[in-house]
Amino acid sequence: MSKIVKKSFSNPDVKPDFPKVDARTLEMGDGVKVSRVVAEHGWKWSECVKPSIGTDSCQASHIGVLAKGTMTVRMDDGTEVNYEAGDAYMIGPGHDAWITSAEGTEAYEVSFDKADIWHD
């Protein structure tokens, strides 16, 4: 039997409360999640999220597309990458990120809880 799911970001399953960001996650089933993340100019993970999470850097993995704006990601090893609208990204655990565009950013991400994409 085929499975088809429709959900809206106007009614998210998860909506964390962090400063300068509107993140909404839809749980699609079978461990698949889709998120829309709209961040304001001035958002920085280490300033806006770290105080609530308590880790030195973001330990989440991210696969997504930046639809609007620009951002920079710095890995714990010092590697730094700039992203702009239209770029796809895959970012492993251990990073900080911040918005570099005056208009903020809009990104869409997908995660697969049942898949381990970070190992060969």
The structure's pTM equals 0.89
Q: Give me the percent of the chain exceeding a pLDDT of 70.
A: 92
Residue 115, pLDDT > 90, answer no
Domain segments of the chain as ranges: 21-112
Q: What is the pLDDT of residue 30?
A: 87
Radius of gyration, CA atoms only, the chain:
15
pLDDT in tens, 89-114: 999 999 999 999 999 999 999 998 75
Q: What is the pLDDT of residue 3?
A: 87
Sign of torsion over alpha carbons 10, 35, 19, 69: negative
58 DSSP 8-state letter: B
Q: What is the pLDDT of residue 120?
A: 38
Question: Domain 21-112 belongs to what topology?
Answer: Jelly Rolls (2.60.120)
As a whole number, the mean pLDDT across the chain is 93
